[in-house]
Chains A and B, each alone.
Chain A
């Protein structure tokens, strides 16, 4: 049995990043909310940096329930699209130009466990497999900042999620490694 030469890691990384960019770009609502995705291997972490416009209850302050819903929905749809295109992408058959920005109209079920501190949130989505429902769980870090001061969600030495790795661990995503 003969096998072709393995591709350079850099080529694999570039292809994955281009595919993810294609999936995210062109969806105005994702840009509007400021949702970012951090990729490690095939694993995605959705991150929602603080922004004043996302506040629902200024007295607490807490994120708007609709923002939480939208954030989970975006995370779920992107994870679903990502997992469905993974195989084709890995073989190099997928042309990033043909990827459509994540769009779908899922039947959803949101459960709010408590009012979310408006500083830092990270979503974890589990895709059980093709054809099966996507379950979305939400993880919240303790308040690490002051309301009204926009700041990036992932910044070294900063509050609950100083980096994406900690955000992952907080979400219960174990065995984090520096994958391509």
Chain B
């Protein structure tokens, strides 16, 4: 299991866009991941209110979902987004870190299914939630 999480961590930390958005891996294991993204004025979508752009929240949820796939016990070597359906519930409160909690709840031979929620400091009221399907590249069996 340690190998899987180490590989997943390396995979996630090598993603240029996640680094650019300042995403941080808080915890991971067994198909579950918690990732955070600190507030940054560069990612604001509405300059009048300072609310983060929905796209930045999408990017965080997408990354956390992919990370959840990578640390699933099926031990995939790679993954990519096939489908991500997002519901936005409310604007994220300006100045607060966004936390995404993703769970890879089912895998088939080549597809992984994920659910993820994004919250700010008020964890009782999520900012957004999404369900997604991701490719699952399994390691080749030893010859």
Contact = CB atoms under 8 A, between A and B. Distances in A.
B81 A112 contact: yes
B127 to A, nearest CB: 9
A59 interface: yes
Interface stretch (A24-32, A79-87, A137-145, A166-174): A24-32
Given A66-B61, A69-B86, A112-B82, A28 B17 contact: no
B84 A56 contact: no
Given A73-B55, A110-B86, A32 B62 contact: no
Contact of A100 (B15, B48, B66): B48
Interface string B40-60: 011111111101111110111
Interface residue tally on A, bucketed by range? 35 or more
Contact of A70 (B44, B59, B91): B59
Contacts of B26: none
Interface residues of B, number: 41
Given A27-B44, A70-B59, A112-B82, A105 B54 contact: yes
B46 A70 contact: no
Contacts of B18: 56, 64
A171 to B, nearest CB: 20
B16 interface: yes
Interface of B: 14-20, 41-49, 51-56, 58-63, 66, 78, 80-88, 90-91
